[in-house]
Amino acid sequence: MNEIAERYLIMNGFDGALAILGVVIGSYIAGVSDVKIILSTGFGASLAMGISGALGAFMAEKAQRIRNIKELEQAMFTNLKNSIINRASIVAVIYVALIDAISPIIAASIALFPFILSFYGFLSLRNAIIASVILNMSVLFILGIFLGRISKSNMITQGALMVLAGIVTLLLLFTLKLAF
């Protein structure tokens, strides 16, 4: 169960970080100067990703576990409806769905924090954008380190690859700016 939860944590944390990077840089490119718009768009996107992730993971995991239990029932010639196996399966589905829901919201909240400071006058909008990108890249790096630990591969390399994905996203977003 933890293997699946770890995968969902990394995948949706990664999605949340890149989505907020898109919101922040897209807002900059569009000339948005109202911090409330950036915050509401960012938190709205992360909440939607959290709900989408939770429901998607819940439905996919539930379907897979129902199938596994049915196969086990056929092999054992018994009904497992009221068994500890069935109850554990339900708990696992809920656990994975919660991890899937929370991970993009956490990643987004970290990257959006500088805009909260900007809203209250502690940072300029420009500095909030810079801080957000730095925090976002830090989240990506930490997710990469976690991925490296899970895969027992070079954690620094995995962190750098995740940051590279963020940099490529940044470059593509700024390429869009040139196109418009």
Q: What is the pLDDT of residues 139-179, one digit of tens each?
A: 999 999 999 999 999 999 999 999 999 999 999 998 987 77
Over residues 32-41, mean pLDDT: 97
1 has a pLDDT exceeding 70: no
Q: How far apart, in whole angstroms, are the C-alpha atoms of residue 130 and residue 108?
A: 15
Residue linked to tokens 């750098």: 160
- How confident is the model at residue 178, as a pLDDT? 77
- pLDDT, one tens digit per residue, over 80-111 is 888 898 898 999 999 999 999 999 999 999 99
Tokens of 156: 């620094």
Share above pLDDT 90 across residues of the chain, in percent, rounded to a whole number: 81
136, 17 contact by CB (below 8 A): yes
- 3-state DSSP of the chain: CHHHHHHHHHHHHHHHHHHHHHHHHHHHHHCCCCHHHHHHHHHHHHHHHHHHHHHHHHHHHHHHHHHHHHHHHHHHCCCCCCCHHHHHHHHHHHHHHHHHHHHHHHHHHHHHHHHHHHHCCCCCHHHHHHHHHHHHHHHHHHHHHHHHHHHCCCHHHHHHHHHHHHHHHHHHHHHHHHHC
pLDDT tier at 2, thresholds 50, 70, 90: confident
User: How high does pLDDT run on average in the chain?
Assistant: 93
Tokens of 18: 């890149």
Over residues 18-34, mean pLDDT: 95
Share above pLDDT 70 across residues of the chain, in percent, rounded to a whole number: 99
Q: pTM, whole model, 2 decimals?
A: 0.89
